[in-house]
Every structure is written in C-alpha cells, then in structure tokens.
C-alpha cells in the first residue's frame, strides 16, 4: 500500500492538527506501508524528509522569536502571507492547489490519500479525511469569515467524496451522522495520543527549563493553547482573578500559546493583569520546553468552549498534573472522571475547582494519579494502527 498525505499543517507554529499530522507520520513509518509521500501544493517529499523539514522550520521559528530583528522579519513574512490569503480567496487558492495535484494524478492513482486537515484535495484514488471538529459551524464568530464561508461550502463535498472519515471523538462523529447524514459505517472515531516526551518529572528534572522561565515547580496554574476567545481564556482570567490574593501570589497563572483570532481585547486584558496581578504570558513556547512546563504545574486549566479532542488535556494528564476542563465536550469524553469538569463559560465553577485544588495538595495528587492512569489508554501508536486499519479498508490493493 502507498500513502499520500497533505502536510500543510506542519508549517510552524504547529497547531493541534500539526501535532496530529506530525505524530501520525512518525508512527506510520514503523508500519507496513510501501511508501509515504508527503506534499504541500505541487512539492512533495518522502516521510523522513518531511519530518526533518518540519523540525528545521520549527527550530528557525523558535530562534526568530528569540531574536527581535529576526522576529520582526518573521512577522513581516506572516503579514505578507496573511495578506496573500485574503487577496487570493480561499476558492482560487484551493483551485490552484487542486490543479497542481491533478497534474500528477496518474502517478498517484494507486495511492490512498489521507487529508489530515479537513478538506480533500483532488485525487483519483481512494480518499480518507480527518474531520477534527466543527467549531467553524458552532462558533463562526471565532473564525475569519472567509474561512467559515469556504469551509461551510466545501465540507459537504468532502463528506460526499471521502471513502472514509475519521473523527477525534464520538461527539464529532455523532455531529457528522446527525447533522450531515453521514452513514455510521463510513466514519470512525480514532482517539489521539500524547508524545512520550510528556511524562512525570521531578523538581530536579524540570529545574533547567523552569529556571529559564522564572517559574517554580508545583507553584503555578498553567494554560497551553492558542490565546483566543474559543479557548475560554476570558473565563480563566475571570476565575483566577477572583481567587484570594495570597493564593494568586503563591500560584501565578501562566499562559503559553501564540495569539489567535479576534484576541485584541483579550491581549489587552492579559497585558493589564501582567502589570497588576502577576500573571505570566510566555507566548509561543518551543515544543522541547512544553513537557517540563506541563510537569511543573500545580494544576492545568483548559476551559475551552469546544474541542475536537483537546490534546493539551491529555498531555497534562500524562505528566501527572491535575486537570480542569469543560464538561459535555470531547475533553470530558476521554478524560471521564480523571479530571475536574466545569460548566462551559462558568467562571465561578472554574474558580471553585481552582480554589479546591490549590488549597489541597493531597487532592491534587489524587487527581493527578487518576489522570495518569487514564492517559495510559491513549497513544500515537494506537492512533496510527487504527488509522492504518482504515487505509487498508479503502485500499484497492
């Protein structure tokens, strides 16, 4: 069997879909696949070269952020790309990419094409698409309008064309079946995993990383994710700001993540809390630092309104850090009773969980162990093997 994978999501900084694509490729290299070809537009590479390219690009991105001059050039490049995307409408851009793929279609006819980022490109052979979430439909106000319009128009086409669909959770699977009439035998939930880099670490093991960020092991509340309204950051700020001052001083709130869509007001609020309340904003944190950052946290809070899976929750659980996340979401689906669950957008509910956990070390330890045990049920290896079963089901060979 030959596999074709779109790797546009591997352009840094990696989002959740980027991490999904990266880990899937890494694990699939160990499976019985004749050849894995990775592409962006008209360019393609074998899997090992694609991973090397991603690692180098991520390193350059991290270095640019640490170099003010380089960071300015990086921001200029991002601005040019953003303007290009707005000027060259989604439809025209995707038509161009489809045309590029069609020029090589006859050479790839016997490949199984997996689109890990929603919308299928042109391919004459069997197609599999991963639909991570439908947030652009449920929360369109948190996405650029052009992106919402494009995805809304193209999703039904992908659902119709795909030989098989993958979702990250049963919640998303049920939405596809109930809202779009997808046949249940054409869609399967394949849970994600967390890298083995995310593990329990002692104070001594986290010290080198935490010292660079001026943090103390077990003495901060952590959020990791894009800083935008959909992630519930405003709710987290409300909850943490209302804690007793002594507790906020002992456990400062640390935000690690790149800025997202419609976050100007949020950014202004974060800046004000940095100046007056001791909040710490780390912005983008290189992947190599994240495991220690997780492992050193007293509590991980992730009040996101909606997730396809919620990978940061699993990463925190695998580091034996007590987690608070949103009920009635995919996060609560896989975390079950191994995390404290809060009502969506309920700052008071989140505050009570924070107050309870930060005031009780024994309770934190109990919840951390529960999360660690639950996290053991998930892995990228399992994700890749279950995905491979789907490839074989649709493969012509």
Task: Delimit the CATH 3.40.50.2000 region(s) of the chain.
Answer: 2-193+380-394, 203-375
Flag whether pLDDT at 64 surpasses 90.
no
DSSP class of 259: B
High-pLDDT (> 90) share of the chain, %? 75
- Distance (Å) of CA 243 to CA 226, 248, 251, 253, 271: 24, 6, 10, 11, 19
DSSP per-residue string spanning 94-153? HHHHHHHHHTTGGGSTTEEEEESSSS----SS-EEEEE---HHHH-GGGS-HHHHHHHHH
The beta-carbon contacts of 322-329 under 8 Å, at least 24 apart in sequence, are 322/298, 322/357, 322/363, 322/364, 322/367, 322/368, 322/371, 323/299, 323/367, 323/371, 324/299, 324/300, 324/350, 324/353, 324/354, 324/357, 325/301, 326/232, 326/302, 329/171, 329/304
Where does the pLDDT of residue 76 fall: very low under 50, low under 70, confident under 90, or very high at 90 and above? very low
Where does the pLDDT of residue 17 fall: very low under 50, low under 70, confident under 90, or very high at 90 and above? very high
pTM: predicted TM-score of the whole model, two decimal places: 0.89
pLDDT, tens only, 208-257: 999 999 999 999 999 999 888 899 999 999 999 999 999 999 999 999 98
pLDDT, tens only, 292-345: 999 999 999 999 999 999 999 999 999 999 999 999 999 999 999 999 999 999
Q: What fold characterizes domain 2-193+380-394? A: Rossmann fold (3.40.50)
Q: What fold characterizes domain 203-375? A: Rossmann fold (3.40.50)
pLDDT score recorded for residue 286: 86
- Contact, 202 vs 279, CB < 8 A? no
pLDDT, tens only, 94-149: 555 665 566 566 678 899 999 999 999 989 899 999 999 999 999 998 888 888 99
Where does the pLDDT of residue 287 fall: very low under 50, low under 70, confident under 90, or very high at 90 and above? confident
pLDDT score recorded for residue 228: 87
Joined tokens for residue 91: 């439809």
pLDDT, tens only, 162-211: 999 999 999 999 999 999 999 999 999 999 999 999 999 999 999 999 99
């Amino acid at each position: 069997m030959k596999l074709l994978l779109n790797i546009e999501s591997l352009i840094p900084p990696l989002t959740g879909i980027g991490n999904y694509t990266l880990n899937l490729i890494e694990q699939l290299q160990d499976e019985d696949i004749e050849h894995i070809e990775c592409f962006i537009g008209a360019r393609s590479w074998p899997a090992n070269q694609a991973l090397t390219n991603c690692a180098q690009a991520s390193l350059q991105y991290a270095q640019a952020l640490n170099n003010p001059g380089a960071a300015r050039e990086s921001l200029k490049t991002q601005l040019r790309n953003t303007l290009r995307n707005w000027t060259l409408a989604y439809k025209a851009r995707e038509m161009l990419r489809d045309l590029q793929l069609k020029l090589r279609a006859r050479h790839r006819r016997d490949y199984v094409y997996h689109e890990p980022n929603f919308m299928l490109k042109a391919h004459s052979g069997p197609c599999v698409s991963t639909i991570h979430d439908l947030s652009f439909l449920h929360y369109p106000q948190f996405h650029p309008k052009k992106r919402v319009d494009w995805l809304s128009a193209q999703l039904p086409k992908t659902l119709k064309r795909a030989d098989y669909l993958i979702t990250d959770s049963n919640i998303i699977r049920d939405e596809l079946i109930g809202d779009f009439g997808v046949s249940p035998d054409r869609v399967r939930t394949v849970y994600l995993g967390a890298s083995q880099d995310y593990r329990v670490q002692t104070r001594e093991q986290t010290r080198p990383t935490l010292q660079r960020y001026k943090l103390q092991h077990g003495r901060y509340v952590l959020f990791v994710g894009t800083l935008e309204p959909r992630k519930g950051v405003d709710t987290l700020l409300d909850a943490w700001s209302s804690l007793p001052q002594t507790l906020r001083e002992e456990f400062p709130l640390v935000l690690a993540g790149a800025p997202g869509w419609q976050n100007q007001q949020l950014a202004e609020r974060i800046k004000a809390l940095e100046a007056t309340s001791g909040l710490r904003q780390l912005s983008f944190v290189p992947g190599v630092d994240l495991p220690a950052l997780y492992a050193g946290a007293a509590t991980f809070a992730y009040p996101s309104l909606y997730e396809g899976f919620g990978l940061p929750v699993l990463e925190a659980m695998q580091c034996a850090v007590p987690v608070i996340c949103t009920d009635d979401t995919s996060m609560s689906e896989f975390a079950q009773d191994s995390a404290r669950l809060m009502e969506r957008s309920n700052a008071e509910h989140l505050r009570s969980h924070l107050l309870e956990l930060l005031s009780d070390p024994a309770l934190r330890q109990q919840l951390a162990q529960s999360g660690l045990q639950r996290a053991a049920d998930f892995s990228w290896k399992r994700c890749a093997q279950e995905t491979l079963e789907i490839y074989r089901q649709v493969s012509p060979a």
